[in-house]
Amino acid sequence: MQLMEGEKYIVDNGHLVAWNTKYVLERVASGGLISGLASAEGLVCKFTGPGTVFIQTRNAVCFSCLLILILWWRVC
């Protein structure tokens, strides 16, 4: 994602890959039990352009938790 001068963007820290712009790490209210446990308790990064932010669409920790639940249900 390319940010223009002064443009702001907020990203859950679990979806971040890389960036080359200014940012502030902030704690926000959690979206629920699973998201609170699977992420770093509602930490987000607030970016301000100019610069580039690379993100992934699937949070790796949440995805692994989902796979564990699916596999556990198949075994039981």
pLDDT (tens digit, 9 = 90+) per residue, 3-24?
Answer: 999 999 988 887 888 889 888 8
Give the pLDDT confidence score for residue 32 in this predicted structure: 52
Give the pLDDT confidence score for residue 33 in this predicted structure: 47
Give the pLDDT confidence score for residue 38 in this predicted structure: 52
pLDDT in tens, 22-67: 888 777 765 554 555 554 556 788 999 999 999 888 777 777 888 8
Q: Name the nearest CA neighbour of 39 among 29, 24, 47, 48.
A: 29
Give the pLDDT confidence score for residue 48 in this predicted structure: 92
38 close to 15: Cβ distance less than 8 angstroms: no
**Run of H or E including 47:** strand 43-48
Residues in the chain: 76
Q: Name the nearest CA neighbour of 29 among 18, 40, 42.
A: 42
Higher pLDDT, 41 or 72: 72
